[in-house]
């Protein structure tokens, strides 16, 4: 676990020392972002390998679009789309996640080499899902879900989106644990865009610490989603197409990584892989330069100076105080101090020069 962020590891998977990058392979004709591009099995496998070459740590394979208004495919078709791609990637040593709401697809994919199951319903869509995953001992992604989006953004009303999403996820995780999935194999996902509008998504991203408080690794899936389009459009503007939101996706990914997310799920890997590595470097620098005592080190300090405690009102390093600055200030002279002193009275020591007071500046949607 990262001491700074609380990033947790998932049993059965590689313990990456930073936020992992999950690349997306949609074996679908109708996904909102890249539907049809990787519908062929060979093309899908090649795309997954390309994502790994660009920096993906694991690849999420799905055969059914969950965008608003999407029509569900039948079980046989989803199996036909997904299992060969999972098998092909796993045979090349890729860590594969299967994105499905069907227990049968999860079961066959795990048998074909998938390492974890990513179910947008958190096991609610198929009552057999939790037993299948528990029996396999596989990690399981529990996403916040309020039902299928066939009718649009259903049940997207909240009084307090952070409290309600966190509470509902907690309840769902408890159910998953009761079903036999081990606690160290549960991953949570706030479900950005699923029964949420742009403001809900932004507020959840601003409070990832609350989601991390659930005590499980956190997956953030913001890639190319509608809330990014709304932000980029500005007031009264038109949102850019999904494939023109990758820079915004990388920005969100870096912020999620620094907040402590276990992984980010993205379509375009290279920029996000760079972004999370930079976030990890900054996290490492923070850890190296923040002592446990809470006293900030000064880069200019010599070894002698660094050993001395720094008082809050000490002068700046560049304006060194005189050697006698620590001497007690002589008592204030009485009102008649200008009168001559009696003979033989020693002359009082000179007061230290005034040092300027130191001031402290203020610190500067459901789519797959």
Side-by-side strand order, sheet with 116-119: 186-189, 140-143, 116-119, 96-99, 58-62, 20-26, 263-266, 219-220
Q: What is the C-alpha end-to-end distance of the chain, expressed in Å?
A: 28
Element containing residue 208 per DSSP (H, E): helix 208-212
Measured CA to CA, the distance from residue 219 to residue 172 in angstroms comes to 16
- Active site members: 225, 265
User: Look-up: residue for tokens 């190296």?
Assistant: 288
Measured CA to CA, the distance from residue 329 to residue 269 in angstroms comes to 64
Select from 282, 271, 270, 312 the least CA-distant residue to 295.
312
What is the DSSP track for 28-66? -S--TTTTTTT-SHHHHHHHHHHHHHTT-SEEEEESS--
DSSP letter at 24? Answer: E
What is the DSSP track for 218-239? BEE--TT-HHHHHHHH-TTPPP
Measured CA to CA, the distance from residue 205 to residue 200 in angstroms comes to 9
323 burial via Cβ count (<10 Å: 0-12, 13-18, 19+): exposed
């Amino acid at each position: 676990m990262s001491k700074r962020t609380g990033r947790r590891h998932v049993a059965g998977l590689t313990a990456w020392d930073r936020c992992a990058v999950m690349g997306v392979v949609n074996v679908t004709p109708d996904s909102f972002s890249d539907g049809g591009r990787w519908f062929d099995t060979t093309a899908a496998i090649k795309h997954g390998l390309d994502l790994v070459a660009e920096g993906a740590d694991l690849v999420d394979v799905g055969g059914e679009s969950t965008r608003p208004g999407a029509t569900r495919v039948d079980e046989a078709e989803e199996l036909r789309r997904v299992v060969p791609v999972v098998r092909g990637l796993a045979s090349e040593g890729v860590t594969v996640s299967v994105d499905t709401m069907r227990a049968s697809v999860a079961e066959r994919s795990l048998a074909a080499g998938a390492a974890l199951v990513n179910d947008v319903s958190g096991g609610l869509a198929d009552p057999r899902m939790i037993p299948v995953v528990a029996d396999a001992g596989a990690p399981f992604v529990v996403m916040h879900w309020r039902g299928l989006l066939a009718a649009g953004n259903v049940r997207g009303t909240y009084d307090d989106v952070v409290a309600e999403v966190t509470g509902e996820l907690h309840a769902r995780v408890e159910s998953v644990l009761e079903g036999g999935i081990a606690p160290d194999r549960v991953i949570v996902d706030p479900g950005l865009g699923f029964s949420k509008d742009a403001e809900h998504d932004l507020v959840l991203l601003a409070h990832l610490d609350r989601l991390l408080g659930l005590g499980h690794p956190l997956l953030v899936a913001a890639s190319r989603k509608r809330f990014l389009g709304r932000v980029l459009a500005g007031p009264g503007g038109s949102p850019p197409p999904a494939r023109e939101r990758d820079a915004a996706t990388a920005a969100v990914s870096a912020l999620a990584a620094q907040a402590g997310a276990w992984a980010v799920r993205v379509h375009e890997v290279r920029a996000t892989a760079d972004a999370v590595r930079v976030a990890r470097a900054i996290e490492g620098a923070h850890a190296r330069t923040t002592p446990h005592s809470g006293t900030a080190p000064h880069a200019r300090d010599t070894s002698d100076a660094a050993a001395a405690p720094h008082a809050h009102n000490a002068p700046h390093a560049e304006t060194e105080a005189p050697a006698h600055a620590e001497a007690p200030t002589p008592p204030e002279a009485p009102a008649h101090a200008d009168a001559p002193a009696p003979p033989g009275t020693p002359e009082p020591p000179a007061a230290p020069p005034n040092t300027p007071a130191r001031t402290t500046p203020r610190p500067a949607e459901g789519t797959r």
